[in-house]
Amino acid sequence: MKLTITEIAKLAGVSKSTVSKIINNYDDIGPETRGKVLKIMEEYGYRPTYSAQSLAKKVSNVIGVIYAGKINSDLNHPFFTEVLNAFKKVIGVEGFDLLLFSNERFNPNGEDYLARCRHYNVDGCLIIAGSEIEPSIKKLDESDIPCIGVDLELVGGHSAYIMTDNEKISSLVVDYLYMQGHREVAFIGGLESSSISEIRLAAFEREMASYGLTIKPEWIKHGDFFEQSGYEKMTELLKEKDIPRAIFAASDLMALGAIKAIKDHGYNVNEFAIVGCDDILAARYSDPPLTTVKQDKEKIGRMAAMMLKEMIKEQGKPRAVKVDPELVIRSSVAFKKN
Amino acid sequence: MKLTITEIAKLAGVSKSTVSKIINNYDDIGPETRGKVLKIMEEYGYRPTYSAQSLAKKVSNVIGVIYAGKINSDLNHPFFTEVLNAFKKVIGVEGFDLLLFSNERFNPNGEDYLARCRHYNVDGCLIIAGSEIEPSIKKLDESDIPCIGVDLELVGGHSAYIMTDNEKISSLVVDYLYMQGHREVAFIGGLESSSISEIRLAAFEREMASYGLTIKPEWIKHGDFFEQSGYEKMTELLKEKDIPRAIFAASDLMALGAIKAIKDHGYNVNEFAIVGCDDILAARYSDPPLTTVKQDKEKIGRMAAMMLKEMIKEQGKPRAVKVDPELVIRSSVAFKKN
DNA sequence: CTGAAAGCGCTTACAG
DNA sequence: CTGAAAGCGCTTACAG
């Protein structure tokens, strides 16, 4: 059924060394021999067996893909899939396939990513961060396996990372809210264990301070990036005696939840300024359409692929990259006279 | 750096046959020997090398994932990712990892899926269908590699498939529209090369006929499942002298595009009944919120995993499965007196 | 209960 | 320009 190199060699009347050299594009094979062998391989649809090749050559042409941290959503998260998709397109051109580690069995408690990578002998790794990154990521980071982190600051000698400039996200939002006349703004972040969320929060506070604006501690909330938590945190805010009229949520889903809470509690949404983050599809269709900050997922994925390739081919070690976010203005923030 | 079985054997003072048997849970190893070796493996963090294991054992513990057809979106498509995510969770418990084929290089013209699977010696394959399925899928289907199709009717001796009951989708929609008083309904389908779309169309026509309703040929349109095409096709419908007041679109994205077209051309959306298909997140937030048909992606993914596992472990050959869709009623369809 | 040996399908010095 | 041989890291009859 499945032919081996030995059989191809026999069929062509040459040795398997010769066949192997043709497969690997050695240039010291006679043209007629090469042609004859190539024709037979073609005819029988021969493909070398991956594991044999990988074992003998010690390369795999496979990239491990890891969703680090306790993200229940992984593939369901639009940010991840869009980044991954762009990554796949670019890295695919280089001939790499992607191995999606299923952590369910091997890795129930998030341990041992390194062992997993060694097991498969991956040429490199894409690590996309969620919240609560497992410590075992560190071992991988420090190993000799090229790793590229997305939303994760890897520091190893064979690692690099790329992420949106999260500080800029907050400054874009605060600047815009300020211009639109809003002075009292609340923040609904993601989990405190999410470094992304914490960066946004810190930058938010800094930027507010630079305008001389103060933030009440009770206006800073932590959700979990999903809609329901936005609903709950907004509900809490609505119970304050001093209700903030502008809200910056660290995800669109939470912003959407906040809008729902505002409506459900009988307030007029138009009296609130809401800004989300991500620019998911639903943000365009919500009522009101949501002003948000867009991350350039396409670019992040593409760059990640190029940086990883650079490391794998040892063409150099790329520096950490920050990608500019973009404010997407829709109608959930109205102008407010002061 | 990376230990081999030979070194572990030396360290433990046993032969590598013994170590191998312990790795593979043979039961004829003495308890103290087993304990000693296990301890050493643990201590050094030993993991057998995948390619060596796979080469010797002829199994891979890897499932190939193929997005068949010319789908530009693949990972960006919510249906696919949700199905894949559920699939991954279940198959992961069995210890399988997922290999995402990147067709960019190896497979520029969609050929040779079988060779690819043999190259990696995958234990099985998940094939998710888009439009315009490449002929080479057929070879894979007919091979001895267990394959499970999603939205794709595989017929091979080692294949099975699962999909939503697409005929039921149409009957749910037509029944509901009929109940709500709508008699003149147009259909915006996906590409004519999409078998899913064609099944929905045929069932739509049948169901309409069963109510004694006629469909004008010019009310049947073909988009490409994406929003822009829904916008364009609706625009065409609005130019008919006889404008249909009820529209069944084969995807939410197209339904959303249709709503936009209706608004843009100065019509009152509330005078139209719109039904989508998929129940994407944005459908909940649109104005009006979109009535649609939901596919049970979670169940499709889980079942696909279980069926594939059954075939791989040769526990039997599962039958084709159709999963019930569910009508999600929101306000884009109003009651209409006749 | 344990180990020596052959083999999985390929690659790569090395010799000619 | 071509081939014989050793080796990659494991598994599995088989013998003891």
Domains of chain B by start residue, with CATH: 5-48 (1.10.260.40), 62-164+297-323 (3.40.50.2300), 166-295 (3.40.50.2300)
From chain B, the residues in CB contact with A55 under 8 A are 49, 51-52, 55
For Cα atoms A29, A34, A37, give the angle at the middle one, nearest 5 degrees: 135
The SS3 of residue B319 is coil
| Protein-to-nucleotide distance from the CA of A18 to the C1' of C16, whole angstroms | 15
Asked if pLDDT for residue A338 goes beyond 80, the answer is: no
Q: What pLDDT shows up at residue A78?
A: 75
Q: What pLDDT shows up at residue A185?
A: 94
Which residue gives the smallest C-alpha to C1' distance to D9? B52
Give the one of A47, A115, A119 whose C-beta lies nearest to B118's C-beta.
A47
From chain A, the residues in CB contact with B75 under 8 A are 81-82, 84-85, 88
What number is the average pLDDT over the span A42-71? Answer: 84
Q: Model confidence over A90-136: pLDDT tens digits?
A: 998 888 889 987 655 444 444 478 888 888 889 999 998 877 777 78
Considering any atom of strand D, list protein residues whose CB lies within 7 Å.
A 13-18, 21, 28-34, 52, 55-56, 58; B 2, 4-6, 16-17, 19-21, 23-24, 48-49, 52-53, 55-57
Q: Model confidence over A264-275: pLDDT tens digits?
A: 999 999 999 999
Q: What pLDDT shows up at residue A322?
A: 96
CB atoms within 10 A of CB A62: 23
Q: Tokens 């009522």 belong to which residue?
A: A287
Q: What pLDDT shows up at residue B235?
A: 97
Q: What pLDDT shows up at residue A102?
A: 66
Among residues B285, B255, B282, B284, the alpha carbon closest in space to that of B269 is found at B255
Give the one of A65, A82, A282 whose C-beta lies nearest to B281's C-beta.
A282
Q: What pLDDT shows up at residue B153?
A: 92
Q: Which nucleotide is nearest to B119 (CA to C1')?
A: C9
Calculate how close chain B gets to A104, using CA atoms only, in Å.
5
Residue pair B120/B58 in contact by the 8 Å Cβ criterion: no
> At A223, is the pLDDT very low, low, confident or very high (cuts 50, 70, 90)?
very high
Lowest pLDDT segment from A8-22, A141-155, B208-222: A8-22
- First-residue to last-residue Cα distance in chain A: 79
Asked if pLDDT for residue A72 goes beyond 70, the answer is: no
Residue pair A88/A65 in contact by the 8 Å Cβ criterion: no
Cβ–Cβ gap A51/B51 under 8 Å:
yes
What number is the average pLDDT over the span A290-306? Answer: 95
| Protein-to-nucleotide distance from the CA of B59 to the C1' of D5, whole angstroms | 28
Cβ–Cβ gap A75/B93 under 8 Å:
no
Residue pair A146/A159 in contact by the 8 Å Cβ criterion: yes
Q: Which phi and psi angles does B102 have, rounded to 5°? A: -100, 115
Distance (Å, whole) CA B219 – CA B200:
15
Amino acid at A297: K
| Protein-to-nucleotide distance from the CA of A43 to the C1' of D1, whole angstroms | 24
Q: What pLDDT shows up at residue B110?
A: 43
Q: Which residue positions in chain B have pLDDT lower than 70?
A: 1, 70-76, 102-111
| CA distances (Å), origin A103, targets A56, A69, A335, B185 | 28, 11, 48, 47
List residues bridging with A65 in a β-sheet: A100, A126
The SS3 of residue B186 is strand
Distance (Å, whole) CA A251 – CA A223:
10
Tell me which chain A residue has its CA closest to the CA of residue B143: A1
A16 touches strand C (CB under 7 A): yes
Distance (Å, whole) CA A310 – CA A307:
5
Which alpha helices (DSSP H) does chain B contain, by range?
A: 5-12, 16-23, 31-44, 50-57, 78-93, 103-106, 113-120, 136-142, 166-179, 195-210, 227-239, 252-264, 281-285, 297-312
The SS3 of residue B254 is helix
Q: What pLDDT shows up at residue A276?
A: 96
Q: What pLDDT shows up at residue B232?
A: 97
What number is the average pLDDT over the span A60-76? Answer: 74
Residue pair B187/B275 in contact by the 8 Å Cβ criterion: no
B270 touches strand C (CB under 7 A): no
Mean of per-residue pLDDT scores for chain A: 88
Q: Model confidence over B59-95: pLDDT tens digits?
A: 888 999 988 876 555 566 778 888 998 999 899 888 8
Calculate how close chain B gets to A337, using CA atoms only, in Å.
29
| Protein-to-nucleotide distance from the CA of B288 to the C1' of C13, whole angstroms | 72
Which residue gives the smallest C-alpha to C1' distance to C3? B15
- Strand C positions closer than 7 A to protein CB: 1-5, 7-13
Q: What pLDDT shows up at residue A75?
A: 61
Burial (Cβ within 10 Å: 0-12, 13-18, ≥19) of residue A38:
middle
Tell me which chain B residue has its CA closest to the CA of residue A256: B285
Cβ–Cβ gap A118/B2 under 8 Å:
yes
A210 touches strand C (CB under 7 A): no
Of A4 and A29, more confident? A4
> At A47, is the pLDDT very low, low, confident or very high (cuts 50, 70, 90)?
confident
From chain B, the residues in CB contact with A99 under 8 A are 62, 97-100
Cβ–Cβ gap A100/B102 under 8 Å:
no
> At A31, is the pLDDT very low, low, confident or very high (cuts 50, 70, 90)?
confident
How many residues belong to chain A? Answer: 338
Cβ–Cβ gap B50/A119 under 8 Å:
yes
Distance (Å, whole) CA A121 – CA A55:
9
Asked if pLDDT for residue A173 goes beyond 90, the answer is: yes
Q: What pLDDT shows up at residue A77?
A: 72
Q: What pLDDT shows up at residue A74?
A: 57
| Percent of chain A whose pLDDT exceeds 70 | 94
Cβ–Cβ gap A100/B104 under 8 Å:
no
Of A68 and A300, more confident? A300
